[in-house]
Amino acid sequence: MEKFMDERERLACVGWIRKYLSDMTRKQADSYVLKHMFQRMTGIYSSDTEFQEVMRECGFEPLESTKSVFEVKVDSLVIKNYYKN
């Protein structure tokens, strides 16, 4: 797998996931949408596969029916920021 994020960017991704994907209403979210939210907020590009890998590092597992849909608790500010632009 081709890596797009360096270690500093990967750690920023871990921090973003821990900060924004917890403590709110449960949602099913596709990793592709989440990675674009991360990119829009931080300017850091990752592949969908890399983002899924970091999601797993942070303790999130994909739903059984698919490899890319995760059940997360999404901070409403993240959703507002993503759809604002």
What pLDDT is stored for residue 49 in this prediction?
92
Helix/strand/coil percentages in the chain, nearest 5:
55, 15, 35
Which residues touch 25 (CB under 8 Å, ≥6 apart)?
73, 74, 76
Per-residue pLDDT of the chain (85 residues), as tens digits, is 678 999 999 999 999 998 888 755 567 788 888 999 999 999 999 999 999 999 999 988 887 666 777 777 666 566 666 656 5
pTM: 0.75
What pLDDT is stored for residue 82 in this prediction?
61
